[in-house]
Amino acid sequence: MGTMSVSVENNMKIRMNQLNEINWSAVARKAFEEKLKEVEILKELSSKSKLTTKDVQEISKKISVNMAKKFRSM
């Protein structure tokens, strides 16, 4: 098994040390695996897409504008 170092803020490290019953390596491994699966799915979906970069940028802009409108009205 490979080894990886992860940096966290001092305050977080102190709080984590107070919970010594938690296996933080296992928590990190699970989070890494979930993110890898998510990215792999997105890559698979995007590899089949016929959208151009311009199309994606236009869709992204429309989503951002509509989300901003939605949250302003809340």
Residue 4 scores a pLDDT above 90: yes
Instruction: Tell me the pLDDT tens digit for each residue of 5-15.
Output: 999 999 999 99
- Kindly tell me if the per-residue pLDDT of 1 is higher than 90: no
User: Which pTM value belongs to this model?
Assistant: 0.63
- Residue 6 contacts residue 28 (beta carbons within 8 Å): yes
Q: Per residue in 14-25, pLDDT tens?
A: 999 999 999 999
- How would DSSP label each residue in 20-64? TTS-HHHHHHHHHHHHHHHHHHHHHHHHT----HHHHHHHHHHHH
What amino acid occupies position 42?
Answer: L
CB-facing half-sphere around the CA of 7: CA atoms within 13 A:
1
Average pLDDT over residues 27-38: 96
Averaged pLDDT, 38-42? 92
Coil, strand or helix at 19 = coil
